[in-house]
Each structure stands twice: as C-alpha cells, then as structure tokens.
Amino acid sequence: MTLKKYIGDKAFYKMAMTVAVPIMIQNFITNFVNMLDNLMVGRLGTEQVSGVSIVNQLIFIFGLAVFGALSGAGIFTAQFFGKNDNEGIRHTIRYKVLITLLIFIVATVIFTVFDDQLINLFLHESDSNGNIALTLSYAKSYLRIMVLGALPFCVTQIFSSTLRETGETVVPMIAGIAAVITNCTLNAILIFGLLGFPALGVEGAAIATTISRFVETAVVLVYIVIKKRNFPYFKGAFRSFYIPKKTGKDITFKGMPLLFNEFFWSLGMSLLSVAYSLHGIDVVAGYSISSTVMNLANIAFISLGSSIGIIIGKQLGANKFEEAYDTDRKLISFSVVISILIGIVVFILGDKIPLLYNVSAESKDLAAYFIRVCACFIPVHAFANASYFTIRSGGKTLITFLMDSVFIMCINVPVALALYYIFGLSIWVSFPIIQAIDIIKVVIGMILVKKKVWLNNIVK
C-alpha cells in the first residue's frame, strides 16, 4: 500500500474543487449568516438564545421533511425532463404541491396547538441556572412568528427544486443569497432597534427571517414569470391537480424512503438536543453556540461529500468501476486531510468565539468545550460523511438509511439518555462519549467502501 494511492495530481484536485466549490460557497453564505444571526440573538442573553435555539430545532425537522418529500418527486422530475416530457413534469409539480401542503398543514397545527408541550421537551424544572418561564415565553413568541414563514418556504422549495432538477441552478442560489442578506440586514435593524425602529429582540429576529422567506419566494416566482418561455412545464401545471394513478404510486413508493430518512435524521438530531438539554439551560445555550460554529466549520467536508456523490455517481453510470474506486479513495483522503487542518484551527479558536455572546459564564465555558470536542472529531465525521455518499452513489440507499437515521435514533439518542438517567454523568463527560460513537460509523463505512458493495450501475 503506497501513499500515492491516496493522492491525486493537480488535474484531479482541480476537477474535485470545480464540483465542490460552488456547493461550498452557497453553504458558506447560508451558514455564515446563520452564525451572525446567532451572534445577534446571543447578545440578548442566555434565555433568549436558548428559546430561539429550541424553536429552530423544531423548524429544522419541518424543513427537512419538506426537503425529503420533494427529493422523492424530484427523481421523477429529472427523468421526465430528460425525456422532454413536460406533462410528466407537471404531474411531479402537482405531487410536490399536494405532499408539501399536507406537511405544511400538519406542522402548522402541531406548532400552534402543541407549542407549550414541544418547547417544554427542552426545558426542565431541575434546571436552576436559567429562567424556565422566560425561556418558554421567548420561544413561544419566536415560534408564533416563524410559523408565518412556513408557507412561503414551501412555495420556494417547490419551484426551486423543480428549477434545479431541470438544469437551472443559478436562480435558486441567487434567491437564497437575497434571502440571507435580507435576513441579516433586518436582524440587525429589528433586534437592536436601529434606524429608528423599535428594539424587538427575539421577535425582531423572527420577523426578519419571515420577511426573508417572502423575498426568496418573490425572486423565484418573478424570474419564472419573466422567463416563462424557458419553462413550458409550468404552463398549465395548476389548472388541475390530476396525477395519473401509476405516477402518483411510483413517486410515493420510491420517494417516501427519502422523506423518512430526512425526517427521522432531523428528529434524531432534535432528540439529541433534548438529551443535552436535560443538563440545563446553560447547556442549551452553549450547544446552540457550538452547533452554529460547527455548521460553518463542517462546510468543507459536507460539500466534498456531496461532490463525491456527483463525481462517483457519474463514473459508475459510465461503468468505470476501477476508476470510481480509485477516485473515491483519493476524495475521501482529501476530505479527511482538509478536515484535520480545519479541526486544528477550530480547536485553537474554540475558547475565543463564545466570548462574543452575552450569555452566562457557564454557557460560554460549555460552548468552548463543545467546540473543542467537536473539532477533535471533525475528521471522524468527515470520513463517515464521505463513506455515506460513496455508498449512496451506488444505489445502496437502505444501507445509508441505516447508517444515517437509524444509527442516530437507535444508538446516539439512547446512549445520551442512558448516560444521564442511568449513569448520572455530567455533560462534560457524556458529550465526548456521544461524539465518539460515530467512530462506529467510520469502521462500518470503511468496511463497506473497501468491500466495493457500492460499485453498481443503477441506470444501465
């Protein structure tokens, strides 16, 4: 085994970065603005940042459920587009509208009727380090406004996903950039009361985000109307909601696994946050800060993972199996090396970033600790992510479902709860243990990648 097997030439890395950089840029803009938002709310206090963090966990589940539902229909949109079947695309658009409308109605009812119960999952009376009632109040006021942005979010996702699946990727990106710029600008104005506006605190943050949702929707819809000749499949798409029985059945059975995967993974992440919240409000605030920072730090390996799926999938489709295996090995190595370098930088800066927040000293200490622990495990998560996309590129979606959703729901979450309820360990001990569990995913991923179970052409 030689080092050369894991290192590509200049042309190789140029090819990889050509695919990865656009993804990185879009992810960076979104996550950087999210970090600025988090910083602005973080200037208000521990209860405020904890309340917003709790609601964002709930919105996170909703967003990924929508994404998963649209991804299933999107597989068919892309194939109909390849066949120049505009009527087929209209059927998928209608399906997207109906499934998204269903998710929107269910989520709105749950968020409106069960807001107290949902938020209280993250709040515990045993916590003496924060004001439970105040945190609940901030969270409810934030959620009440955020629900108003759910509908434009759904509309945007329906149209943007269809545009991407038919080859138009620039407009959704521009709309997203317009949204985050609007959000960031209005956050500063409405949270702190700049330019003569009243200081609205967490409600100002929610209003800014909601307005940005409408801006994003407007950009997409205006473009479609102006360039309607370029998108004939939108014409007549909403004259009826007829979908052939076979098409609807195929989309449902082949697309639902993606919906379930995204839903259960996001639910697992939220349940993990609930498990952390058992340790107190300071932990909620500290974890919110660290999560925001790590989302930014993880952009490189997440984007490279997506690139692996694209590059390897193309080679598998061309029956270039040996080339795919060699390319995959080098891309995984590249992702891990980049992650090691990023991890070192994040670890060094780990205790500096929390100082920017106006939260309790305990929350700052916890945030710094969480950031540094996560920094140590960035290469672990990078390898797990790269192996996940490798295996998925070969059509092994059941395996990736087990590695992704089932793993977090059946291993990470139960272990986190057991460490608290059974062993009574503090968050300072349990957090690195929970992070280290993903080493199991690395071992599984390494075995499956090496066994080449993913070397399949699924479109032949």
pLDDT tens digits for range 198-209: 999 999 999 999
Shared-domain flag, residues 103 and 139: yes
Q: Give the global pTM.
A: 0.74
What would the mean pLDDT of 300-312 be, rounded to a whole number? 81
pLDDT score of 459 more than 50: no
142 within 8 A of 37, measured Cβ to Cβ? no
pLDDT score of 129 more than 60: no
**Residue 98 falls inside a structural domain:** yes
**Residue 48 falls inside a structural domain:** yes
Q: How many domains does the chain have?
A: 2
Query: What is the pLDDT, as a whole number, of residue 422?
Result: 95
Residues 6+ apart with CB under 8 A from 12: 327, 330
Supply 406's token pair: 């089932």
Name the least confident of 251-260, 267-276, 404-413: 251-260
Confidence of residue 46 (pLDDT cuts 50, 70, 90): confident
Helix axis angle, 10-42 relative to 202-226, nearest 10°? 140
Cα–Cα distance for residue pair 18/24, rounded to 1 Å? 10
Name the DSSP class of 232: G
Query: What is the pLDDT, as a whole number, of residue 166?
Result: 78
Query: What is the pLDDT, as a whole number, of residue 182?
Result: 92
Name the DSSP class of 2: -
Please name the residue that has the structure tokens 């100002």.
204
Query: What is the pLDDT, as a whole number, of residue 377?
Result: 96
Between 111 and 285, residue with greater pLDDT: 111
- What are the tens digits of pLDDT across the range 399-414? 888 888 899 999 999 9
**Residue 36 falls inside a structural domain:** no
Shared-domain flag, residues 289 and 240: no
**Residue 28 falls inside a structural domain:** no
Shared-domain flag, residues 51 and 189: yes
Confidence of residue 360 (pLDDT cuts 50, 70, 90): confident
pLDDT score of 21 more than 50: yes
Q: Is the dihedral of CA 23, 375, 371, 143 positive or negative?
A: positive
Residue after which a domain boundary falls, among 264, 299, 323: 264
Between 69 and 333, residue with greater pLDDT: 333
Task: Please give the distance of CA 367 from its chain centroid, rounded to a whole number.
Answer: 21
Between 228 and 436, residue with greater pLDDT: 436
pLDDT score of 453 more than 50: yes
Cα angle 380-384-389, degrees, rounded to a multiple of 5: 150
Name the DSSP class of 235: T
Cα–Cα distance for residue pair 455/460, rounded to 1 Å? 13
Confidence of residue 314 (pLDDT cuts 50, 70, 90): confident
Shared-domain flag, residues 226 and 314: no
Shared-domain flag, residues 91 and 124: yes
Query: What is the pLDDT, as a whole number, of residue 30?
Result: 66
**Residue 104 falls inside a structural domain:** yes
Distance separating the N- and C-terminal Cα atoms of the chain: 33
Q: Please state, in angstroms and as integers, the Cα–Cα distance from residue 162 to each residue in 20, 76, 101, 199, following that order.
A: 22, 10, 16, 39
Name the DSSP class of 3: G
**Residue 272 falls inside a structural domain:** no
Supply 109's token pair: 């009812």
Please name the residue that has the structure tokens 């694209």.
310
Kind and range of the H or E element at 231?
none
Q: Which domain does 363 fall in, by range?
A: 1-20+278-460
What would the mean pLDDT of 240-259 be, rounded to a whole number? 81
Supply 232's token pair: 């004939």
Between 107 and 176, residue with greater pLDDT: 107
Shared-domain flag, residues 11 and 124: no
pLDDT score of 34 more than 70: no
Entry field: residues in the chain? 460
Q: Please state, in angstroms and as integers, the Cα–Cα distance from residue 21 to each residue in 6, 13, 334, following that order.
A: 21, 11, 14
Shared-domain flag, residues 162 and 197: yes
Q: Please state, in angstroms and as integers, the Cα–Cα distance from residue 125 to each residue in 116, 122, 129, 132, 367, following that order.
A: 14, 10, 10, 7, 22
**Residue 25 falls inside a structural domain:** no
Confidence of residue 33 (pLDDT cuts 50, 70, 90): low
Shared-domain flag, residues 316 and 391: yes
Name the least confident of 23-32, 215-224, 262-271: 23-32
**Residue 82 falls inside a structural domain:** yes
Query: What is the pLDDT, as a whole number, of residue 358?
Result: 81
Average pLDDT of every residue of the chain: 86
Cα angle 4-9-11, degrees, rounded to a multiple of 5: 155
Query: What is the pLDDT, as a whole number, of residue 130?
Result: 58
Shared-domain flag, residues 59 and 207: yes
Supply 262's token pair: 């995204």
Q: Is the dihedral of CA 30, 36, 39, 41 positive or negative?
A: negative
Residue after which a domain boundary falls, among 264, 286, 310: 264
Listing DSSP states for 9-47 in one string gives -HHHHHHHHHHHHHHHHHHHHHHHHHHHHHHHHHTT-HH
Shared-domain flag, residues 436 and 307: yes
Query: What is the pLDDT, as a whole number, of residue 273?
Result: 87
Name the least confident of 146-150, 356-360, 386-390: 356-360
- What are the tens digits of pLDDT across the range 130-139? 578 888 899 9
pLDDT score of 126 more than 70: no
Looking at mean pLDDT, say which of 34-43, 164-173, 290-299 comes out highest. Answer: 290-299
Shared-domain flag, residues 165 and 286: no
What would the mean pLDDT of 443-452 be, rounded to a whole number? 92
Residue after which a domain boundary falls, among 264, 295, 321: 264
Tell me the one-letter amino acid at 101: L
Residues 6+ apart with CB under 8 A from 410: none
Query: What is the pLDDT, as a whole number, of residue 125?
Result: 58
pLDDT score of 269 more than 90: no
Shared-domain flag, residues 372 and 429: yes
145 within 8 A of 203, measured Cβ to Cβ? yes
Q: Please state, in angstroms and as integers, the Cα–Cα distance from residue 226 to each residue in 88, 156, 231, 233, 276, following that order.
A: 23, 16, 10, 15, 49
State the CB neighbour count (10 A cutoff) for residue 457: 16
